[in-house]
Structure formats: C-alpha cells, structure tokens
Chain A
C-alpha cells in the first residue's frame, strides 16, 4: 500500500483528485488545504508521493517543500503544480529536487499517468 499527499488551497481540485484516485486500490489518498495541514499529516504518515500547488495562502509550495527537506522527510516522488509559468521558480525547484511540475491549466489525467508510471511502479 502506497500513500499520496495532495496539497492545494482549492477544495474542488482536491475533490477531483480524490475521485480520480478512487479506483487506485493500492493507493491511500490524503489531501490538505494548506501547508500547515500537510505538515501535520507528514508527521503522522510517511508518503511515497506528494503533489503540491505552489501558490497558496500562508505557506506556499516552496516553503512547504523546503520544510520537508529541512525535516529530512523522505518522499520519493515530488510533483509541483503551478498556476504561473514555472520558470519563475525553476532554480529553487531544481535545488529542492522535485520530480516533475505541471503548469495550470493541467489535465489530472496527465498527473495520474505520471504518478502511475513514474512514482508507483518504482521499486
């Protein structure tokens, strides 16, 4: 059983992610509407995949990923979603070692496909 954490300030998107991952029986899906809620879940569980939005109130995606790195929490697959052209943050994201980013408006199918093929099939 693998665990995935989806962080986005859009409850609607979280809901769609949940619905899309419903048929992944080998996957437990957790969602958080903010960075701080995500951190609480990260304390409790260990995740294989994290998908986070970059632009969020209070704590943005970069801050969240920096904290994860600082806390030495190991997540094998890190996916970033961005409403803005990603090149604004590309250096920082490279430094944080993310696996993949998607620019909005993205299709969840692409993300699910990436998760299925690149994150979940890895040993």
Chain B
C-alpha cells in the first residue's frame, strides 16, 4: 500500500485526497497548499459537499460509490475555486482497500496553466489562421483546435472520424494524405503537403503538416501537426507570378532593350540592369555589361562621344529625358547605330542619378536613310541636270546675243582703226555697247553659280535680298527673249536670313520655271516675283497669270514625281523639292490658284531656331 502511495506521489500529482464512501476528507497531501480550497487542517473531516457545490458534490459522491463498488479506476476532470481562483484539475479516482475499510483516492493535476496555454495557442491559431491537430494512433481519436474545424467547415467540437473529413478532400489529396500518414507512423517521416478540399462549393488549398510523437518506450503513439488555409496566399503568389511572367514577356518582346543605369557621385557610370537581348546588338552578354559598363561606354564612336557625355550630363543636371543617337562598336568592332532614351530620377540620399531607359538598334534604319540620302542626292543631281538642260538653250541664246554684239563691235573698231580719220564718238558708242554686252554675260555666268551651290549644305546668315535679286537677274536674262513679262519686286532695304542659299535659289528657280511654263503660250503672259519681310518671316511670292492648277490635282502637286507635263519635259520632282526645301528651313508654302493664275507663297523664318 505504501509503495502504491509512493508511486502515486512519484507521479508528482499536485493534489491527493483520500475519501470515504460518504465523501469525507480522510487524508490530504499536496505539493502546493494554495491548490486547496481551504487550509488543509480545516478541510480534514469535512465532506466534499462542504467544499463543492451540491450538484458537483453529488456527482463525486456517486463516483466514489461506483469506484468502491466496482473497484475500477475512473478518470475525472473538475474545476474548484481555490485562493488562486477557478482551478482546473485532471486526474483519477482509484479504489483503496485497507482490511475491511474501503476508501478511494482522488489524485489530480492542476492543468489550469496548460488549459490557458491551449486556449492561447488556439487563439493564436485563430489569428494566424493556423489550426493544430493531434491523432492518437491507438484510440484513433482526432483532436482539433477551433481553427482546424473552421478550415474544414465542420462545426467546432464535433467528433471527427477520418473517413468523413477526408471525404471533403479531392481524390489526389486524399491519396497523398493517406500515404504521408502511413509513412509518418511507420517510418516517422514528417510531412508537409498542399491539399485541395472542397467545402460548400468553395475550393480551398490547405497546407497540412504532420510529425510523429514518440512515447518513452520509443513507440509512435501520436501524430500531430498543423493545417493552414493557403488559398488566398496561393492566389496572391499566382497573381504575382503571372505579373512577373507578364512583365518578363513585355521586357522580352518590347522592341528595344530595357536597362537601368546610374551615374554615381564619383562620376562613374554603372549599369544596374540590362536585359539579355542586348547580346543580339553588341555580342556582349547582359551580365558582362552589368559587371563592366565600359564594354559599352568605352566603345562609343570617338566622333559621338562628346555628344554622348553632353547629353548624359544635361539629362542629369536638368532632370530631363536622356535622348541620344550615336554609334557604338560591338564586340566584333562593327558600328551599331543606337538610339536610346532614359528617364532620370535623383536619389537625394546617395546623390546618384538613376535612368530607367530603353535602347534601340537603328543600324538598319540608318543604312536605309543613308541610301535614301544618296538617292536624294542623285535625284537632286538629275534635277540639276534637267533644269540645266532646260535652261541651256536659253543660256546659249542669251550668251550668243551679247557675244555677237561684242564680236561685231570689235570687228567694227578694227575696221575703223584702219581708216585715216578717227571717229572717236563712234568708237565710244561701240565700246559702251560692248561693255553692256559683257555685263550681261557676266550676270548669266554668275547666276549659273546656283547650280554649284545647290549641293552645298551650309546654313548661314546671308543677304537674301541680294541673293534673290541676283537669281532674278539671271532669270530675267534667260527669259529676255520670251514673250512674257517678268516683274520683280524687292524692298529697298537689305535683309539677312539664316538658311541654305543654294537650296533656296533652287526653290525659287523651280517656282519661276513652273510659272514660266504656265504662261509661255499665252499672249500677255506675266510672271511676278515679290520679296517682302515682316517681323518674323521672309516672304517670297511667285505669281503667274496662267490657266491655274485644276482643283482635282491641287493636293497632289507637292507629291514627288507628280507632273502634268509631257514625258521628258517635267521631272515631277520640282514642287516636291520646293516643298522639302521649305520644310528644311522650318517654313511653310501654300498655293492659291484660279483660272486667272497661280500664286505660290513661301514663308521662311528669318532667324535660326524657328
């Protein structure tokens, strides 16, 4: 008996009472007096009904009688109010026989704290939406926290049987779960599964973990683990992944290479991101460029380098878009034409400027532009030849006339010089005629400079009054023998404009030559060119009193290769050329035409930068 008592005490239960059949406290042992409802001395001899409520007391008295009668141990859980407040106990009632005297022992453990902890854990679980579960292998009993019930949408506290709760999982999940459970029991393998369950039409993805609990004899007695509803998390992860995928796709397919570069306070340029498609352009991999940005920066074409540095610092200082076009050598030293743009942002903490940018390979486009430029040049050349051809007959005539005068004057003077008397007045008249004739030849040959100037691309400030005047003198000379009247109006004061003189001459020649064609067959043809100025613009009007431009072709006249002239007569590039020259000068051109005639009006800004 003593051994048994000792053994019981050894289990280190917190309280141990001996009762008789009537519920009288016969003996009280405790490790902690505060777990008793009253002081031990007072309690001895009292009955359980003096301590507990009547209802509780009756319950225990019945239990004591049962244990004495059956001599079987029964388990109990109860709560008493101690000086510490309501205190929860769990324990057993066991029979004790001492000769004829039959008594019972109630021994119990204070589980208030554990209960509290359990409750706290359950609360934490509820907050974190993590449920816990325990499975007793021997009894097959499942014990779940509130959250585990909630996740499975099973009423809290309902007795769990495995088949019914597994029924809400899909087939695959059920198989996974069963296999994992088996392995956990037999091989003590912990598991971590993602399972799919379906409750009242809502599909959930739950994460279930499990691990084995081993007793002191090293036998797996229980499994325990957690359950977590990760549906939302999964969805967010998927959304995030989708977004990431989409972004990658965009970066991959965007026509251009996305990058991020930095200008450090030290002046060093680093590349913090470069998309891998850069390799297609430069041959270097994105990684190698990020590690060694000089692979790009030190390979910029020397002629474009200063512009590049200028654009970088301008963008950094003025916080404006970086925009640069230039040449960079690739890995094989081929020239690549690059167009790049980046939006700067200043990191005020580090003083760095960071550009998010995009880079385009425009090499092919540039090649095309160059070939078009060449084509345009040869077109201009053809046009030059065409107008030269058209004018050459006029030039021949207009040079031959004064030449004939000079020849015959000289001839006459020679004859006169052989005569005895010297008719001084006649010689003076003759010389005057000859000088006048040579002056005319000079006007024409000077004017022909137009054709050599047409290819020059220099923009400069030039005296437009003088330039237009001299071109008009040539044209007047060339049209001297035509039946139409050429008028030229120009202000008495001289004006300078910024532009390309050769190109503007070409535009004027084309307009005048078109006007001349329109009135050649007319009896009272008139061609009028007027030059005038306002504050901003230089205005040039070329009018004729020809038949006008038919309405149906008015919007086509500036198209390249559009011509109304017979094959061989017109090149079809005259007006389109005029248009492009005017656009080059940031000017405008418009045309008014009726049956009474046509007027082209060109406006060119006087100053640079309009």
Contacts and interface: CB of A to CB of B under 8 A. Distances in A.
B400 to A, nearest CB: 4
Interface stretch (B4-12, B128-136, B340-348, B430-438): B430-438
Contact of B482 (A57, A104, A106): A57
Contacts of A19: 412, 426, 430
B433 A16 contact: yes
A63 to B, nearest CB: 10
B405 A13 contact: yes
B412 A12 contact: no
Contacts of B401: 10, 13, 83, 104
20 contacts: A9-B481, A10-B405, A12-B402, A12-B405, A15-B429, A16-B405, A55-B397, A57-B482, A58-B483, A83-B481, A84-B397, A104-B397, A104-B403, A105-B403, A105-B407, A107-B407, A107-B408, A107-B411, A108-B408, A108-B412
B388 to A, nearest CB: 16
A15 B433 contact: yes
Interface of B: 393, 396-398, 400-405, 407-409, 411-412, 426, 429-430, 433, 436-437, 480-484
A104 B404 contact: yes
Contacts of A9: 480-481
A39 interface: no
Contacts of B483: 57-60
Given A10-B405, A60-B483, A84-B397, 15 more contacts: A15-B429, A16-B433, A55-B397, A57-B481, A57-B483, A57-B484, A59-B483, A83-B401, A84-B393, A104-B397, A104-B400, A105-B403, A105-B404, A106-B407, A108-B411
A56 interface: yes
A83 B411 CA distance: 19
B433 A12 contact: yes
Contact of A83 (B397, B426, B436, B484): B397
Interface string A35-65: 0000000000000000000011111100000
A55 B481 contact: yes
Contacts of B484: 57
B54 to A, nearest CB: 145
Contact of B409 (A16, A57, A83, A106): A16
Nearest to A20: B412
Interface residues of A, number: 22
Contact of A13 (B396, B408, B480): B408
Interface in A1-25: 9-10, 12-13, 15-16, 19-20
Dominant SS among interface residues on chain A = loop
A82 to B, nearest CB: 9
A109 interface: yes
Interface centre among B408, B482, B483, B484 (most CB of A within 10 A): B408
A23 B407 CA distance: 20
Nearest to A88: B393
B440 to A, nearest CB: 10
B436 A12 contact: yes
A40 to B, nearest CB: 18
B540 to A, nearest CB: 25
Contacts of A108: 408, 411-412
A83 B392 CA distance: 12
Given A19-B412, A108-B411, A84 B433 contact: no
Given A57-B481, A108-B408, A16 B397 contact: no
Contacts of A56: 481
Contacts of A15: 429, 433
Interface pairs A-B: 7 shortest CB-CB? A83-B397, A104-B400, A12-B433, A83-B400, A105-B404, A55-B481, A12-B405
A16 B408 contact: yes
Contacts of B408: 13, 16, 20, 107-108
A84 B396 CA distance: 7
Contacts of A55: 397, 481
A13 B400 CA distance: 12
A13 B411 CA distance: 13
Contact of A16 (B393, B403, B430, B480): B430
A109 B405 CA distance: 13
A107 B409 CA distance: 10
A72 to B, nearest CB: 25
A24 B484 CA distance: 37
A15 B481 CA distance: 18
Given A55-B397, A56-B481, A106 B404 contact: yes
A97 B373 CA distance: 54
Given A55-B481, A57-B483, A109 B411 contact: yes
A9 B405 CA distance: 12
Contacts of A83: 396-398, 400-401, 404, 481
A16 B412 contact: yes
Interface centre among A10, A20, A56, A109 (most CB of B within 10 A): A10
A109 B484 CA distance: 33
A119 B421 CA distance: 30
Contacts of A107: 407-408, 411
Nearest to B482: A57
Contacts of A57: 480-484
A11 B576 CA distance: 41
A84 B392 CA distance: 11
A55 B437 CA distance: 17
A106 B405 CA distance: 9
A109 B482 CA distance: 28
Nearest to B414: A109
Contacts of B426: 19
Nearest to A10: B401
Contacts of A13: 401, 404-405, 408
Contacts of B433: 12, 15-16
Interface string A67-103: 0000000000000000110000000000000000000
B348 to A, nearest CB: 79
Contacts of A16: 405, 408-409, 412, 430, 433
A20 B403 CA distance: 17
Contacts of B404: 10, 13, 83, 104-106
Contacts of B429: 15
Contacts of A10: 401, 404-405
B566 to A, nearest CB: 18
Contacts of A12: 402, 405, 409, 433, 436-437
A15 B433 CA distance: 9
